[in-house]
């Protein structure tokens, strides 16, 4: 686990103290760009990261050893690393490479291998680097390092790099399809500070010189989910006994200066949230490691087994901490099941966001589910499709549908659930997340998914083709519009979608208190309405649709 540490510490001691003179390149700041042929021709087996964090200089020193298995013949290796971090040495299988064998002009480090590598080869690439990493302009939305201080002036440091990618502080293949099979972390910080991170804790070592190294190991982590968290933390911990028969630690690293009552109240939420997710989706995916949360100087982020929490224990009338609940959702929707492409990012955010109103109902009943769904619909923009069917980067998604991947995704999931029924819906979600409908601890591993995968799973579980529903909601910018016309005692309804395609979504109609369902075959339906009768379309708010009063509200807002 600690191989190369002596070499690493020697290089770190000799690394020059370079000021950050350059900015991160546009290439580095775009996460999820297409991989090179060389990157597609290797399996990323393991990353061993030795990182020294120097708070008073706001710089880092690192040595990364990356192990690969070659799946197609190659003549070079390529990984990403921000150019603001100066590379002092590159080794291939332990041999120092001359400077003309590697280059990192825009942040894609390419290592030439003149003799090539055959299928089955297992190259090990070691990179020593140092510098002042990108400072987050507005974490977590615009990410990088957060160099902060606790109320009593001690260093309080965190990373949040979802939009920019892992290459902000460690060399990796910055693409969701190139997760490392394992990441080992050796994080050296000033003695007295604590460095909780991903996966299992393997112990700490006080070197006796003012520095202490904290060691962690995580299996199959999302690359952007590797996180550094450093501060004068105190750990609150307990054992969670799962409904699936296994047990694992729950840990919350919080500032020592926090109000103990607030800490205890938040920690008390861990168990019921876990039980909700296990009952609704399936087993906690990382039960052989931990369910971890760490307090951060930014709002939050879904860092696998060490979720960032910066909501400051705020109460908002929901009866639970929304940030804690949302980031925990990503252990299932994002870390266990990872999108194939950023175009499918709604699978993380939309399905994860839908867990909040479902949890509101789990705790407090239907009123709280409907309240949260209504809040989501008021914030829809509907200017870009949630899914395009083409490759997109994280930045393209953030600058396109933006928050619609959360709210429209969640509202779509609600409509889908009420259309196909709870049994088919939750069976489909579980199968999407685990690759099987009957997950148990030990019988699944992490996997990649696309929107088409969910369509296929829903079709298999229902015996019907629901591609039209996904297309009508997710692949069009505009919401489906339910147009109403009245002639005499007949009320006619028909659906109009952004692409004009058939949309046979059934609709309930309440006439003087009596509810009936229109099948909407071919997207059309008709019902008799006596003169003077009160008519209410979709009285239980089962379907997501265009509502002119919501559009008028949005148009009236000063931020529009």
- Structurally, what CATH architecture does the domain formed by 481-543 represent? Sandwich (2.60)
Give the model's pLDDT for residue 559.
76
Average model confidence (pLDDT) across the chain = 95
Which is higher by pLDDT, 557 or 221? 221
- For the chain, the straight-line distance linking the first and the last C-alpha, in angstroms and rounded, comes to 53
Examine the pLDDT at 18 and tell me if it is beyond 80. no
What average pLDDT score do residues 248-276 get? 98
Residues of the chain with pLDDT > 90, as a percent, come to 94
Examine the pLDDT at 520 and tell me if it is beyond 60. yes
What average pLDDT score do residues 243-270 get? 98
Intervals of CATH 1.10.390.10 along the chain: 234-474
Structure confidence at residue 557 as a pLDDT band (50, 70, 90): confident
Structure confidence at residue 22 as a pLDDT band (50, 70, 90): confident
Q: Who contacts 148 (Cβ-Cβ below 8 Å, separation ≥6)?
A: 155, 156, 157, 158, 297
Intervals of CATH 2.60.40.1730 along the chain: 5-231
CATH 1.10.3860.10 holds for 5-231 = no
Spell out the SS3 assignment of 151-203: CCCCEEEEEECCCCCHHHCCCECCCHHHCCCEEEEEEEEEECEECCCCCEEEE
Provide DSSP, 6-58: HHHHHHHHH-------SPPPHHHH--SPPPPHHHHTEEEEEEEEEEEEEGGGT
Examine the pLDDT at 14 and tell me if it is beyond 80. no
Whole-number Å distance between alpha carbons of 142 and 161? 8
Give the model's pLDDT for residue 21.
60
Q: Which CATH number fits domain 234-474: 2.40.10.10, 3.40.640.10, 1.10.390.10, 1.20.1260.10?
A: 1.10.390.10
What average pLDDT score do residues 203-222 get? 97
Examine the pLDDT at 2 and tell me if it is beyond 50. no
Tens digit of pLDDT for each residue in 292-325? 999 999 999 999 999 999 999 999 999 999 999 9
Tens digit of pLDDT for each residue in 27-47? 999 999 999 999 999 999 999
Whole-number Å distance between alpha carbons of 340 and 347? 10
Whole-number Å distance between alpha carbons of 72 and 209? 46
Whole-number Å distance between alpha carbons of 260 and 265? 9
Examine the pLDDT at 560 and tell me if it is beyond 90. no
Tens digit of pLDDT for each residue in 452-498? 999 999 999 999 999 999 999 999 999 999 999 999 899 999 999 99
Give the model's pLDDT for residue 16.
43
Tens digit of pLDDT for each residue in 374-418? 999 999 999 999 999 999 999 999 999 999 999 999 999 999 999
């Amino acid at each position: 686990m600690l191989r190369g540490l002596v070499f690493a510490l020697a290089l770190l001691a000799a690394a020059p103290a370079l000021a950050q003179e350059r900015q991160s390149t546009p290439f580095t700041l775009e996460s999820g760009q297409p991989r090179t042929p060389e990157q597609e021709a290797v399996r990323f087996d393991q990353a061993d990261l030795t990182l020294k964090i120097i708070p008073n200089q706001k710089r880092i020193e690192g040595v990364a050893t990356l192990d690969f298995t070659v799946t197609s013949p190659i003549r070079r290796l390529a990984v990403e690393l921000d150019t603001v971090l100066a590379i002092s040495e590159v080794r291939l299988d332990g041999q120092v490479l001359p400077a003309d064998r590697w280059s990192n002009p825009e942040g894609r480090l390419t290592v030439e291998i003149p003799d090539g590598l055959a299928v089955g080869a297992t190259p090990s690439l070691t990179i020593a680097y140092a510098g002042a990493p990108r400072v987050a302009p507005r974490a977590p939305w615009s990410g990088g390092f957060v160099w902060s201080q606790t109320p009593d002036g001690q260093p309080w440091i965190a990373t949040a790099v979802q939009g920019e990618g892992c290459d902000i502080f460690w060399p990796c293949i910055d693409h969701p399809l190139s997760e490392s099979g394992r990441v080992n972390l050796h994080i050296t910080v000033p003695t007295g500070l604590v460095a909780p991170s991903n996966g299992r804790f393997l112990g700490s070592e006080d070197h006796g010189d003012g520095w202490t190294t904290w060691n962690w190991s995580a299996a199959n982590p999302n690359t952007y989910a590797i996180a550094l968290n450093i501060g004068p933390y105190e750990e609150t911990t307990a054992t969670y006994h799962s409904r699936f028969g296994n047990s694992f630690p729950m840990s919350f690293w919080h500032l020592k200066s926090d109000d103990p009552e607030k800490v205890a109240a938040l920690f008390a939420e861990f168990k019921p949230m876990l039980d909700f997710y296990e009952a609704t989706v399936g087993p906690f995916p990382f039960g052989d490691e931990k369910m971890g949360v760490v307090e951060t100087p930014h709002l939050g982020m879904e860092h696998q087994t060490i979720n960032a929490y910066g909501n400051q224990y705020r109460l908002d009338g929901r009866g639970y901490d929304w940030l804690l609940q949302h980031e925990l959702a990503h252990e299932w929707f994002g870390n266990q099941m990872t999108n194939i492409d950023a175009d499918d990012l709604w699978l993380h955010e939309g399905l994860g966001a839908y867990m909040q109103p479902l949890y509101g109902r789990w705790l407090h009943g239907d009123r709280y589910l409907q309240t949260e769904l209504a809040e989501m619909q008021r914030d829809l923009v509907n200017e870009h499709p949630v899914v395009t069917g083409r490759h997109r980067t994280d930045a393209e998604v953030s600058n396109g549908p933006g928050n619609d991947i959360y709210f429209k995704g969640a509202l779509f999931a609600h409509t889908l659930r009420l259309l196909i029924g709870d049994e088919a819906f939750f069976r489909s979600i579980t199968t999407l997340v685990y690759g099987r409908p009957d997950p148990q601890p030990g019988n699944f591993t992490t996997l990649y998914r696309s929107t088409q995968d969910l369509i296929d799973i829903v079709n298999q579980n229902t015996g019907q083709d629901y591609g039209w529903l996904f297309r009508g909601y997710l692949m069009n910018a505009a919401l489906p519009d339910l147009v109403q016309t009245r002639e005499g005692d007949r009320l006619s309804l028909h659906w109009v979608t952004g692409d004009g395609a058939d949309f046979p979504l059934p609709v309930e109609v309440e006439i003087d208190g009596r509810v009936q369902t229109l099948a909407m075959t071919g997207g059309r339906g008709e019902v008799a309405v006596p003169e003077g009768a009160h008519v209410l379309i979709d009285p239980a708010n089962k379907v997501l649709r265009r509502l002119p009063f919501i559009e008028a509200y949005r148009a009236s807002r000063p931020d529009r």
